[in-house]
Structure 1
Amino acid sequence: MKKFRYPLLMLTLAGTLFYCKSNKQAGSQIVATNVQESSKEDPAKIDFNKSPFLTAQESMKKIQVEDGFEVKLVASEPLISTPVAFSFDQKGRMWVIEMTGYMPDTVGTGEDIPNGKIVILEDKNKDGVMDDRKVFLDSLVLPRAICLIENGILVGEPTNLWFFEIKNDKPVSKTLVDPLYTEGGNVEHQPNGLMRAMDNWIYNAKSSKRYRRQGNKWLIEQTHFRGQWGISQDNYGRLYYNNNSQNVLSDFFSPGFGANNKNQRNVAGFNEKSVANNHVYPIRPTPGVNRAYMKGVIDDSLRLIDFTAACAPMVYRGNLFGKAYDSNVFVAEPSANLIKRNILNDKGYIVKGEQAYKGKEFLASTDERFRPVSLYNAPDGAMYIVDMYRGIIQHKTYLTPYLKGQIGKRDLTQPLSAGRIYKVVPKNTNVKITALPADAESLVKLLGDNNGWIRDYAQQTLVDGKMSQAIPALESASKQTANTFLAIHALWTLEGLNALKTDDVLALLNQSSWPVRMEALSVLPSVISGQTYKTYTSALNKLVDQNDTLAAPYVAFLAHNIQEFDKSAANDLLLKVAKKYPVNRYVTDAVISNLQDHEEAFKNELLASLSDTTLIIQKQLNRAIAQAANSKGNRDPQMLIKEFPKGVALFTSICQTCHGPDGNGVKSLGPPLNQSEWVNGDKAKLISIVLFGLTGPVKVNGHIYKTPEVSGDMPGIGYDKDMPSEDVAQLLSFIRKSWRNNGEKITTDEVATTRKKLNARQKAFTVEELNGM
């Protein structure tokens, strides 16, 4: 098969003149008119058996967007190729990741070739369209995440997380921050995002790690495992994410809380379904999705019914769209060529919502190659869209023979060198990105700006610059009550500068405004110390005595920070809040997050005054106690690693993503493997499932798992003809011997025999089929 190692060069030679004249002369206003006219296109008259490669201008005519809005082109090939993510800098330039090596064909030929890049795009003539390209880094293998911070940039390149110092737009030094940034998983299931949140930590999707720079050192901490591709925050620093079949998942509390007890399977208030409705409404038939052959995936008109590649959730925090769009969450679905809008509402600390429309989307295209993979807020208040513009977006690990056929039918493999970045703005809006101030006085004022991106920029610049001269103005800003956003960002900027004072934080804890109290509670882990813990313990007890129900979960979470200095005081605080809120699942889970390996002792203490074993606090304690007992009964993993090295490698890269490293399943993704009858039972059934997949629902240990509790379909690995039967046998043997499982080993011959028998298999098994074997 012919390899194209320099697709960008080839397209540049052929198309530079066209780009310079056509794109720049047309200008964004003419392009926007084309988008407006696209709403007149009748999808019924389009031949969907064909998916021709379209120029950016032609593709834009296929986009339909919500009334009152228009789409403008910001960048396209040959200026960029295969973009997957980007970040703005202070000058308004875009630092773009090009994942050139992703799936060059249906078998992933050459994915390990170092052809990925980080490029800087700039709009030098200030007309709103990028016109200059500068390569910052090249020779990268599938780069996937960046974060501009202080004097450099973080770059996620599997398996490493690097920090490059920048001088004159060039990397001048390189530091390894985390050699295991993308440990485990494949390209579709590896960490990404590197989003700097309000609490001054950097968070990721598909990860349970967070990062922070302290002097010349990098801190790495464990947090909750979140999402799959893309991560965002709202105006209060709460995180939003999703997986490929779930619309919007979120945290109700500050992201640093509650990830301390390994015996606790889930913590209420994290990984919550903020929008449970997963229906999508494409404007074109979408037979080219991986499981379209399955009943219930596409409808009679061949359109996708529910999310299958949901990604890039973005909480809109701009200042252009109008009040009705404030804090709306937009979600991309590249398999169905659309972007969904969701409307969320706060009720106390609970955030729930619904889709904005029924039967339609905020933005959709009839161009099958339109692949929105990332969405961003921006300095100009617009919503920016990264369009990878490719035929193939499904990774080879899970690519079914059905989808391979669809790709061949419509010739979706080539070309590989395209990519577009658009922005969505209200019609007749002419906004442009300009350089932002960097002096301390101006930055403090920007902390109260009505554009969330600007507020984040101001906070991060003050912290990165260690601008201690701004502390008096920040202290004043945190105390004022006219602008809540100014107060909140001033508080977290002071935290980033290590300049918080106890009296100031205590004053904010007493404010009547819940958002301000919430942020003051969230910042407490940074200020509780050996000198201050008694003062804060007293303040937390006071909140409980005052019946502050909104603060109650935070009080329970914060006992973890008191424990370090006074275990007795922390335990008393936990008992107090548990007794007061024994049926509040958010409070009870927050209490239990502090009790690793002490759950039973706490339960016995609690029984003295709460003898009702049906209370939520008692039930949740019993679950954690049972989980602790199960963990103690697990087999030694080091022995299994030595016995089944290839099986462990496969499990880490393919299985653990959905079933968890402990085999106990992952919420919204996969059921447990630990003590599963499907794992320990009939060898032939297990081999068949792993080779060709399983369509749910499925019963495991008496519980029926179905969507949305787990993904509705487990992909098989047998479609990959290059996967050795020996490796599959080791994988299955490893699973059957891990944790508390006790199944017999599976041999290479047993796997090979089943593969030969099922050689013509084209789809996943159902439970009924397996039971009939």
Structure 2
Amino acid sequence: MKKIYYPILLLLLTGILFYCKSNKSLSGQAAATTGTTNNKLTNAQVDLNTSPIVSPTDAIKMMQVEDGFEVKLVASEPLISTPVALTFDNNNRIWVVEMTGYMPDTVGTGEEIPNGKIVILEDKNKDGVADERKVFLDSLVLPRAICLIEDGILVAEPPRLWYYKIKNDKPVQKVLVDAAYAEGGNVEHQPNGLLRAMDNWIYNAKSAKRYRKRGDQWDIERTHFRGQWGITQDNYGRLFYNTNSENLLGDFFSPGLGASNQNQRGVAGFSRRIVADNKVYPIRPTPGVNRGYMAGVLDESLRLTNFTAACGPVVYRGDLFSPAYIGNIFVAEPSANLIKRNVVSEEGYVLNGQQAYQNREFIASLDERFRPVSLYNSPEGAMYVVDMYRGIIQHKTYLTTYLKKEIGRRELTQPLNAGRIYKVVPKNKKATAVTIPQDPDRLVKLLGHANGWVRDNAQQTLIDGKFTQAIPALRKIIKNDKNQLQAIHALWTLEGLGALQTEEVTALLNNPAWPLRMQALSVLPSILNKTNYAQVMPVLTQMVQNDTLAAPYLAFIANSIQNLDKTAANNMLRQVVQKYPNNQYVADAVISNLQGQEEVFGKELASLAAGPDLAINKQMGRIITNIRNARANRNPEVLRKEFPKGAAMFNSTCQTCHGPDGNGVNGLGPPLNGSEWVTGDKDRLISVVLFGLTGPVTVKGHLYKAPEVNGDMPGIGYNKELPNEEIAELLSFIRKSWQNNADKIETQEVTKVRDKLKGRQKAFTEAELNKM
């Protein structure tokens, strides 16, 4: 079932906006609105019947940019087309993913045609603008992410993840890394990102998998499910992402920790809402968003009020902007033609953020076709912007009749061959790109560079090149904490080279600087073994008593100790619980070790931490209840055989927001398991699935509203090609799944409701449905 309250767009996400009368009038207005003021076009100044294509030069003039910054063109059509992601190689060339086949028209005609490409752009004359295009790989179906590693490149082409070895800029060998990289889901709800993080693992948005290359083998491990489109990291390797309706989510802890208990639906400190404010401030009317007809989506001047297509975040880690911008997190919003700036603060291990401005944005455009979908740090310290420059960015699965009409009225389908890449730089400041060398001594020095992109790539090059001759210099760096970031990268470089020693980590565990202790705790699981864990245990035991910040990490680390000494691990968990019984982060970290042991440990808590209101007891009570409920669930394999099309549709369009267990997903959708909306009146359920539900909804006595869930579930009835038979199977599947045991829904019942509601263009409210 399409999710009640579901952030639907992924990748290129919602919106289609309106354009102004002419390029000339738009340029003049842009000049009047540059800087920090947020003067907006009035509706009278907008011709709602046109949507002109403008040149890259004019498009830049139409941008309102934060004072002190400017936008420069790096590449545009015909050199690139429909870009959605990029990466840089060590020679500062740009590798770009072109998703040419995305939504050629409102019904997605030809999406299955293999016309996607991976291309290499190069600035031969060094004027800052790419002038040469080289096709590395073509004939791809809707590719969405790449990652250069060792002598090759990862390419995400759902449902598979491939690794291509590279020779002379050509693919010479194709290796299947994961045949199930993107199981189920439509183009807006499939994994993407391929971020090579500080801990030497590769992470994705919209995914619970991580990848690592070891020799010729690829390790695939379970991790936390994160985000929707785009993923980024800060200077300490913590990950940040978002959903289409949420500005910024992220992790408080190292990404490799805490994903070991599959009975946990969520772990405190992961997928946290970093910035709760989802307001956006476009500088022109934007009534062309997918649900622009719904109350509250647009304000009185027809401007989008809240994120509906948040994507492509980046933590700015360069050295070109002023210090006030370092660590800020920028988020793209293509449906409102803008880029938002967020400022994040840290207190202990807890992160909180807020929007940098009210009533204005870092960048906002008057050009409807400005579609920023991904943001990146770069070799010269600039922020790069991938602009898909497309009319349609809403996938057909959720395309409303309202938006189809807007697309047709302003002829937004064409052209399909545009696309731009920009970079944002401070005015009057020279940007010089750093070329990553192959010399190990120079690479070690670059680990201390002020630009985070340079540090990351120096680390990766040392590891990819297996530069073991650099190990002595790396050991010296981690003993000298004058440059903490250099020491951190040296630590993880040694880990990547397989050369990190136990005593080096234990020394950092005693360092007075929390960032260094944090990294030592994060790297510890990767080096623990039968011969060294006893050497580490006394240090960890002492930290339990003296290091409050380390407490959640210590609980997470117990999972790695369990395989070596179960008694020692459980003893450490008991100590942590006794010391921090009311810390929600410690509680969930403890539970992350206890898969299959939750009820046994729960009984022991009476002697360790008495009191039902303590965090450890409340969290443990919830998970035990979930486990018992899961035991009562119906056999999913039997249901898949009975309703194969319904099960497939649930996987592709419902489980992301409602969860594979039907118990809902925090921030996305409420539960379907035991929901009176699912097991109750058939016509009401059919109506919701066909045309969606907006606003708060009460499920099992609890009122679900934003931000606990997304405030809008789109319907699937707008897709006239979707057979009533398949909708009936989907509804029957969820009415019989988990602990639900309601009657099947027949095809004719769907047909009856669909005919009755023919012509409806808006989602239902709970009040409307209750009158049925």
TM-score bucket of the superposed structures, by smaller chain:
over 0.9
Name the CA shift for 1:681/1:76 in 2 (closer, same or farther; >3 Å): same
Equivalent residue, structure 1, for 2:747: 748
The letter of the residue matching 1:728 is: I
Q: Tell me by how many angstroms 1:435 deviates.
A: 2.9
Q: Tell me by how many angstroms 1:266 deviates.
A: 1.5
Equivalent residue, structure 1, for 2:196: 196
Structure 1 segment 648-687 matched on structure 2, within 5 A:
648-687=647-686
Equivalent residue, structure 2, for 1:106: 106
Task: Give me the CA root mean square deviation.
Answer: 1.4
The letter of the residue matching 1:544 is: V
Q: Tell me by how many angstroms 1:599 deviates.
A: 1.3
Equivalent residue, structure 2, for 1:86: 86
Equivalent residue, structure 2, for 1:372: 372
The letter of the residue matching 1:181 is: Y
The letter of the residue matching 2:260 is: N
TM-score by length of 2: 0.95
Aligned residues: 741
Equivalent residue, structure 2, for 1:22: none
Q: Tell me by how many angstroms 1:38 deviates.
A: 6.6
Name the CA shift for 1:42/1:256 in 2 (closer, same or farther; >3 Å): closer
Equivalent residue, structure 2, for 1:5: none
| C-alpha distance in 2 between matches for 1:77 and 1:33 | 24
Equivalent residue, structure 2, for 1:15: none
Question: Contact between 2:143 and 2:156, CA under 8 Å: does it hold in 1?
Answer: yes
Equivalent residue, structure 1, for 2:347: 347
Q: Tell me by how many angstroms 1:512 deviates.
A: 0.3
| C-alpha distance in 1 between matches for 2:609 and 2:486 | 43
Gap runs ≥5 in structure 1: 1-31
Q: Tell me by how many angstroms 1:658 deviates.
A: 1.1
Equivalent residue, structure 2, for 1:224: 224
| C-alpha distance in 1 between matches for 2:752 and 2:537 | 65
Equivalent residue, structure 2, for 1:397: 397
Equivalent residue, structure 2, for 1:4: none
Equivalent residue, structure 2, for 1:688: 687
Structure 1 segment 711-730 matched on structure 2, within 5 A:
711-730=710-729
| C-alpha distance in 2 between matches for 1:116 and 1:338 | 26
**SS of equivalent to 1:412:** coil
Question: Contact between 1:455 and 1:489, CA under 8 Å: does it hold in 2?
Answer: yes
Equivalent residue, structure 2, for 1:337: 337
| C-alpha distance in 1 between matches for 2:309 and 2:535 | 48
Q: Tell me by how many angstroms 1:609 deviates.
A: 3.6
Instruction: Judge which range, 625-634 or 142-151, deviates more.
Output: 625-634
| C-alpha distance in 2 between matches for 1:76 and 1:457 | 26
Question: Contact between 2:160 and 2:179, CA under 8 Å: does it hold in 1?
Answer: yes
Equivalent residue, structure 1, for 2:539: 539
Equivalent residue, structure 1, for 2:768: 769
Answering whether residue 34 of structure 2 is matched by residue 39 of structure 1, we say yes
Gap runs ≥5 in structure 2: 1-26
Equivalent residue, structure 1, for 2:637: 638
Question: Contact between 2:74 and 2:420, CA under 8 Å: does it hold in 1?
Answer: yes
The letter of the residue matching 1:583 is: N
Select the structure with the greater relative contact order (CA < 8 A; seq sep ≥ 6): 2
| C-alpha distance in 1 between matches for 2:515 and 2:695 | 42
Equivalent residue, structure 2, for 1:12: none
| C-alpha distance in 2 between matches for 1:496 and 1:436 | 18
Q: Tell me by how many angstroms 1:613 deviates.
A: 1.5
Name the CA shift for 1:36/1:148 in 2 (closer, same or farther; >3 Å): farther
Q: Tell me by how many angstroms 1:47 deviates.
A: 2.1
Name the CA shift for 1:508/1:434 in 2 (closer, same or farther; >3 Å): closer
Equivalent residue, structure 1, for 2:59: 59
Instruction: Judge which range, 380-389 or 38-47, deviates more.
Output: 38-47
Name the CA shift for 1:722/1:33 in 2 (closer, same or farther; >3 Å): closer
| C-alpha distance in 2 between matches for 1:402 and 1:357 | 32
The letter of the residue matching 2:610 is: S
Equivalent residue, structure 2, for 1:19: none
**SS of equivalent to 2:664:** coil
Question: Contact between 1:640 and 1:738, CA under 8 Å: does it hold in 2?
Answer: yes
The letter of the residue matching 1:327 is: G
The letter of the residue matching 2:679 is: N
| C-alpha distance in 2 between matches for 1:322 and 1:338 | 21
Name the CA shift for 1:47/1:499 in 2 (closer, same or farther; >3 Å): same
Question: Contact between 1:185 and 1:654, CA under 8 Å: does it hold in 2?
Answer: yes
Question: Contact between 2:436 and 2:457, CA under 8 Å: does it hold in 1?
Answer: no
Instruction: Judge which range, 354-363 or 51-60, deviates more.
Output: 51-60
| C-alpha distance in 2 between matches for 1:104 and 1:429 | 40
Name the CA shift for 1:597/1:247 in 2 (closer, same or farther; >3 Å): same
Q: Tell me by how many angstroms 1:438 deviates.
A: 1.6
The letter of the residue matching 2:665 is: V
CA deviation string 1:437-496 (max 9, x = no partner): 121000000001000000000000001111111100011111111100000000000000
Structure 1 segment 306-325 matched on structure 2, within 5 A:
306-325=306-325
CA deviation string 1:32-87 (max 9, x = no partner): 99987772997347424122111111211111100000000000000000000000
Question: Contact between 1:447 and 1:455, CA under 8 Å: does it hold in 2?
Answer: yes
| C-alpha distance in 1 between matches for 2:762 and 2:375 | 33
Q: Tell me by how many angstroms 1:696 deviates.
A: 2.4
The letter of the residue matching 1:347 is: E
Q: Tell me by how many angstroms 1:763 deviates.
A: 0.8
Question: Contact between 1:119 and 1:136, CA under 8 Å: does it hold in 2?
Answer: yes
The letter of the residue matching 2:172 is: V
**SS of equivalent to 2:224:** strand
The letter of the residue matching 1:658 is: C
The letter of the residue matching 2:264 is: Q
Identical aligned residues as a percent: 66
| C-alpha distance in 1 between matches for 2:370 and 2:610 | 59
Question: Contact between 2:253 and 2:349, CA under 8 Å: does it hold in 1?
Answer: yes
Question: Contact between 1:128 and 1:432, CA under 8 Å: does it hold in 2?
Answer: no
Instruction: Judge which range, 465-474 or 604-613, deviates more.
Output: 604-613
Q: Tell me by how many angstroms 1:750 deviates.
A: 0.7
TM-score by length of 1: 0.94
Question: Contact between 1:127 and 1:432, CA under 8 Å: does it hold in 2?
Answer: no
Equivalent residue, structure 1, for 2:328: 328
**SS of equivalent to 1:749:** helix
Equivalent residue, structure 2, for 1:25: none
Structure 1 segment 437-586 matched on structure 2, within 5 A:
437-546=437-546, 548-586=547-585
Question: Contact between 2:436 and 2:443, CA under 8 Å: does it hold in 1?
Answer: no
Answering whether residue 732 of structure 2 is matched by residue 733 of structure 1, we say yes
**SS of equivalent to 1:242:** strand
Question: Contact between 1:83 and 1:420, CA under 8 Å: does it hold in 2?
Answer: yes
Instruction: Judge which range, 213-222 or 426-435, deviates more.
Output: 426-435
Question: Contact between 1:386 and 1:422, CA under 8 Å: does it hold in 2?
Answer: yes
The letter of the residue matching 1:610 is: A
Question: Contact between 2:390 and 2:415, CA under 8 Å: does it hold in 1?
Answer: yes
Equivalent residue, structure 2, for 1:23: none
CA deviation string 1:160-182 (max 9, x = no partner): 00000000000000000001111
Structure 1 segment 253-272 matched on structure 2, within 5 A:
253-272=253-272
